[in-house]
Structure 1
């Protein structure tokens, strides 16, 4: 440019047009005509440059640029052109200012690969990479007046180089992964110890994916648990870090791994919808190692069986990539194959060991064959003796049942008539006393029949699911009243006591019988200990016992400090009418009743005694996995009163029938009668209104009482049914238990028991 009036070259473009504008001026430099020649020369070179070029002038870095830069960087309203660079773009200046300062200081500056944020013409902000070169502009005296610079866009070049580096890094990582997997494969191939296979796999997985810790959990299923997982190997943390926590369960997060249905990879497990759903922890239990990144793969054999799962964690999110997942799947495959082989080898070793043991046992057996044969003979004799005892008990039970039916009917006639007679002799003290004595005799006879039925396992039971510990707690006051103050009572209940199933009334009678026997053995002074605990009877113990299956039981032990029982009579104490007490002081039916009740309940009785050191009787009742039942109030709590309803009495014994009809009539009821089930059904079919069918269980004829009850209810749905019997056989009692929904009043019964039971059944049906 020769002078100020000379126009800027046409190739100056848009920026040249700005310089040619008559009113264009830079406050620090004045009008264009007054600008230094060195600046004009530099601007002319800059405008003519085919590259992105710029010029800064002076200490304020007044900034000028050509159209090449304008094409790359949007300059809204010429905000920068001719203005101070460092003052207009302070944020950019923080990145590049040091390079400009070096150039203004006289140094030629080349800065390749500089990150710059550009704003495209459409307003889009993009990150680009440029090679920045700057040369000082000097005056005649050599002083630096400004900077001439170029900015070459090398974004594509650097991005290509970056992609190449990433590709090399990925290749190196893949190579490293393959090396680790191969090394692990070599280490576990042929390994015969499954625990070492698991540990090698877990260690390799931590190295592969950069996990903070890893674990292998082994699928372990037993009879008590449908699912169980055992920590088999651990890496990255001490085993003690996991010992205080329970093993994992099938939750939504763990299920795919242990079921073998999928792989779980989560960048942040605390944000996953499957995390925290399951009680009791709602996430990781307190004190667990922190986990954000989570990766788990199933370990499956070639046949598809899930051996377990490899689980890895890291306290930071987003640490596990798809590549990590793929490498872990490969590792899991090798581990599964190796572990399957190791397990097969271990199984072979166990089988060889078992065979060796069997051969050794056979050798020992052959050496002591005579001893074994003798033992087998003794064992057979013991089993035969137990069978004979069981058959004897069964025979006595059948005999007892037949006798009990007639005996209880007889007692019912006597009892009913005595109770009716008692009303006739009211006011006659002598007669009342004799009637009372006679009724007491009936009561003793009834108790005797009941004990015989209990021993013969013919007593109708109404079992409930009980917690024996709570049951004993409810009996303490009764026991203290029965035993007296001179006998100390201690009740011991083990923690975690299982539930059992038994008739609460019969169990109470059994405990009371044992306690009274103990009181008599201690002659009224001593200590009675009642203990309840869980117990298991194994095959060895039950092999020589009749009808006692091995398994889990609730054990109830009653121990006294009494005189004890001589060893020569211990085997007889459960037989009916046998007693160690002096004549006239016991019926000999207490222990036999306890024995029969426990056996009928599916349990076992064991007695331990030593003369001078007391006796322990242990009752074993089978464990049940059911919730404890709340015991409802007895019918004895129902008020004794009569009613105006109509009752049909079906009873084949004319004396019993006459007595019960009169008792019910006195209570205000309208009473119809039938001599057998068929006659009772005819009355019902006649259409007469009946509120209660009161029927004996055992009656002659083709139609049986349970069938009568079913047909009667079909015709009269609101009809209440009450059975009565002195011996139920199998009509309404099965497996020793009263059928569900059956109401029974056992003979002989008192007027009060009859009144309460009838009212309870009628009102219960209405309810």
Structure 2
């Protein structure tokens, strides 16, 4: 190649190089002379800085710097560094022609000839404003996220390394677990597990599940720094980089102790509400059944009583008749027990012979518990009378015996005992005086401390679902306390249970009804004279028996099959000395009839007969009440009492 050809090639290469540099728009590439004046200018420089080539050539490059950088002599420092070290690089704010700023990455390289003489500088500038803004935004976002994580106090949020060691710690973790960051960072997360869980390898299993599945969730007991336990809901997420390499785990823990307890309490409250509603439904159903059943028993007992009075003495027939009467009376007692169990009733306080009551129930109790258990009696021959409601006491005794049977699945002995006690009043918070203690003792499984503490809580039961309402002991406790006594339980796991009912002894001052009854018995029978009675009932069988009893007592009786017919009789067939009416009748109840009688015939006494154990809503509690089924003697007593003005 000749010298001329070589020169042309060199010029061609320079031209190509110039075209290459001029075509770059993402970088400002230009030359500075040794003093720092602009010697060349490409399209990228024009785009970044806004100067045309003719405007900037020959100008000092310091005009691109901010005033504060120029005061700090940063342009001079940059050239001096590049000249001394061959290269200078930094980032900072630069100024465009229009005065706006941009964040620039700047590289300055020295240009020297073959002899090392400085010819100038090559300067490359890149606009990093958007990237810097993005980085700043990311940093702000990370700071906000860090602040968010640190401000969360209801959750423990922290990181674990791939081996399960704590790498950071938020304020929620400190609040829930009790450790400060400097105390726990670097320690293994198994510190939070119970000893038994660590023995079973639960921490390692949990991490392995998160590592394999990407996420794992558990709920269980965890341990705080002070050793106390809390119920935790824990989620662990595996964190991996873009290549899938495990970087560690994100762990979220929440203390759900109170929430779980609240859910259990809510579930228990719902169950108690359900049991209460079920019991109320049973009570309403029992009330209706009892009324109809008592009407049937009324017809049976009344007819049998009349038959016994009119039938000639026959040794072969009288036992059969007496057996039928006792069977009907037992049916009436069963109805009372059903109502006492399912409905709240005012106590009918009476002196009760506990030995006689238990003896009378013995056959019934033994049949109730079956053949796997036997009942023994342990009572002295002489025992003071207890003051309580005998019907509800029978129900209580039945409940206690059945509970004792259930506590002896393999069989055993139930002992019903009684004794007298003298109470000073101070230790037991009872009135000083003499009490009778009725006890039921079994040889069964017994109760632990937790069960014993909750035994009398309403709706608490250790029996299976559908096998108990949990009301037995709470009803017994209510009976004893309403009677002025106390219930106590002695039990040891595996050694049986003894339940004691402490009931006050009875006297006539405590029993106004009994006192009145004795007074009535001592008084002359005012009702021996012939009365004109209006008998009202919608049930023909019951009405017939009531009429027969009254007529057998010597009274004149007029029948009425309901309230409206009774009012017609009062207007057209009177006068009457007495009205005896059923309560539960269609169109007009007995209480409503009594109110109409009081308005139209003041002074005319009314006796309310009812098959309910307690008067239904709307009944007049002031009316003399005759419970169904009633005998002729009970009818005679209340008629005598009402006519003499003692009721």
Give the TM-score, by structure 1 length. 0.38
Give the TM-score, by structure 2 length. 0.44
